[in-house]
Structure 1
Amino acid sequence: MLTALIMAGGEGTRFWPLSRKDNPKQFLKLNDDQKTMLQETVERIKELVPIEQVFIATNAAYQEAIKKQLDGIPLENIIVEPMKRNTAACIGLSSVVIENKYPGSTMIVLPADHLIKDEKKFIDILSKAVMTAATGKNLVTLGIKPTHPETGYGYIHYGNHLHTIDGDQVFEVQNFTEKPDLDTAKEFLEAGNYLWNSGMFIWQLDSILYNIEKHLPEMYESLLKIQKALGTDAEKKVIKNEFEQIESVSIDYGIMERADDIFVIPSSFGWDDLGSWPALERVKKVDDDGNVVIGKHYGIDTTNSIIHSPNKVVTTIGLDEVVIVDTEDAILICDKKRAQEVKEIRNILAEDGLEDCL
């Protein structure tokens, strides 16, 4: 049986000020005017995983929004983390919850806020990843074939060829690399055996739990206590108590960089993690001056910029490569090349007590 875990607890900090704590990126309609990023994620996998076998990991603040956005999802499939403990704890908690309901199933793990243009190809690759995960203790990930030297993504270095499934190759993973500087990213691109880390994983439940026990034994002990409490009156209390003690570590660092039998399928299906404002150039119409405009903008000699202002007229003169975002209570203006630093502005606001703006 196939199950899916969609991680939807992030705050989308680099899309501030549109993305907020109470309305983060996964709840925004960034790709079109019909569905949110979360809704699109669930919709695109329905051919493989019906809604009753889809689970959403989130925090208590987003629970009600998820109920409203995902009509038909069982309430018990919304897994609420009591506090942030990074992706290893999120996946660990979700694994024991899903194992309790669908024992022995294969889990597909997906972020809630990514764009995929070629959904048919995506499902085809995902199906092949499921086949690869069915053998032994295999942990499988999808790596995106890089198109340019990107510094905003982590990379996967792959080695020996395992096998080919209907034209798509599967390779052993040699190692994972954090976000590189530009020179290193150029070296990765030239080497030809590096892929962007998509953050998508496929494995059998017993495989990921085996690896958590092996590489994060203290976390595994907490998960066993949680598993025993599921369905009892003590469930929420036990989860909270154990989460307070669990190490905050990413699944990449905690498991994928340490485990054996890690495999990757190089993929090209129009993937984008929409990580910051300049990503809109890849999903929205670009005008003759190279601008992406959402709202009303009148400019003189304004080029290659992102302007988001649905409620106010924005006028500009002599600007190039800038981001301008206007919301009801905040305005962002930044160099487009430094848009990744938006999350640092949020930190400054938080330090100054401006929580209402976050």
Structure 2
Amino acid sequence: MSTFYPVIPAGGSGTRLWPLSRQGSPKFLHRLGPDERSLLQLTLARLEPLAPPARTYIVCGAAHREAIAAQLPDLPAENIVVEPAGRNSGPAIALAAAIIEAHDPDAVMGSFAADHLISVGDAFRAAIRNAIAVAETGRLVTVGVTATRAETGYGYIQGGAALGIGDAVDVRSFKEKPDAETAQAYLDSGEYVWNAGMFVWRVADLMDELRRQVPEIARLVQPVADLWPSDTPRARALLEDVWTRMPSISIDHAVVEGAAARGRVAMVPGDMGWSDIGDWDTIAEIGLLEGNRLAQPRDTLLLDSPGSFATTASGRAVTVVGVPDVVVVETPTAILVVRRSEAQRVKEAVDLWKSRGRDDLL
């Protein structure tokens, strides 16, 4: 059986969770659930039964390296791979795959976002073990999350014929975020699951697909990876140079969709209590269902405000009276008040502050 290596891409700034999530302190570094640990710490913890920190890699930006190292003291320093600049998930995952392949050519790797919340860890690990078994047959495997509602904010995966390995199936198609009517049709059909962006594959198979579909990425990461095991400082210096020529593309568009069209992608479904915590409405839902408050619950008071949610990061008391279905977020430098139904528009507000030159708020 191949050795399993998790990879955690930790990028982005989570603008829909502004003002808590910022460029210098993105959402994966925060506690956004009932646990005292950050989303990143929770991600590593649920992977540890599958692979120790010594076999886990994180790809991040330079601005977050120190904070990640502080939160994950058991992770070897050389396993934190710093991107010189954000280039979407394709190059980040390709670089990690090439580094792992240079160390262990027969390895199976998995890619897992740093900022998602999964409440049923055993179900998650069962799905990943099944995905590993499928990946060892040469398939690229995506982990689909059981759809529980007609969600318009997620992409969907259409399953096909059973493969005879656990509950794995062929992938018939990937669908972009649908409108409400289409999402309901997907849910009613029973053929679709949510695309949570979790992937498992042999590193050799992924590198083959990269060379086939986006050869420029494979060509640029290979010399860095070849140096990494023997001379990591020199490899990091080379990375600075090659990254200036690196295209920006997601791993879905770079590899997965093209491979699926040729029948090479499989899907393992999972009912694991997954959430991408994509906006404040989601946070409010989690907080209200679990009686959870993000930062200092004793400093928030909601009176006759059903469906509302408040949090404070400075210690100042936040009071909401007679206002239903809103989110109030207080930080030392910014205050957000938003209707839950308008939570996706927080990114617009961040863009407007940026256009005003208020980089201090970003």
Fold match, TM over 0.5? yes
SS in 1 for 2:99: helix
Aligned residues: 353
Given candidates 178, 188, 193, the residue that maps to 2:191 is 193
- Other-structure match for 1:7: 9
Are 1:140 and 1:263, in contact at CA under 8 Å, matched by a contact in 2? yes
Structure 2 partner of 1:18: 20
Aligned counterparts, 1:1-358, within 5 A: 1-136=3-138, 138-165=139-166, 169-230=167-228, 231=231, 234-259=234-259, 260=262, 261-286=264-289, 294-310=297-313, 311-358=315-362
Q: Structure 1 residues 258, 50: CA separation in 2 closer, same or farther (over 3 Å shift)?
A: same
Question: Conserved in 1, the CA contact under 8 Å of 2:97 and 2:207?
Answer: yes
CA RMSD of superposed structures (Å):
2.1
Q: State percent identity of aligned pairs.
A: 34
| Distance in 2, Cα, partners of 1:284 & 1:336 | 13
Q: Identify the range of structure 1 (76-85 vs 315-324) with the bigger mean alpha-carbon deviation.
A: 315-324
Q: Is the 8 A contact 1:164 1:170 kept in 2?
A: yes
How far residue 103 of structure 1 moved from its aligned partner, in angstroms, is 2.8
TM-score normalised over the length of structure 1:
0.93
**Which one has a larger percent strand, Structure 1 or Structure 2?**
1
For residue 111 of structure 1, give the secondary structure of its aligned residue in structure 2.
coil
Distance 1:236 1:269 in 2: 37
Distance 1:156 1:33 in 2: 30
| Partner deviation per Cα, 1:173-200 (whole Å, 9 max, x = no partner) | 1121121221221121112111101111
Q: Aligned with 2:316: secondary structure?
A: strand
**Alpha-carbon separation, structure 1, partners of 2:319 and 2:33:** 25
- With over 3 angstroms needed to count, the CA separation of the structure-2 counterparts of 1:278 and 1:197, relative to structure 1, is same
Provide structure 2 residue ranges, at least 5 long, that are not aligned to the other structure: none
Quote how far apart the aligned CAs of 1:111 are.
Answer: 0.5
Query: TM (normalized to structure 2)?
Result: 0.92
Moved more, 52-61 or 1-10: 1-10
Rounded to whole Å, the distance in 1 between the matches of 2:11 and 2:290 is 34
Point out where structure 1 has 5 or more consecutive residues left out of the alignment. none
Moved more, 71-80 or 236-245: 236-245
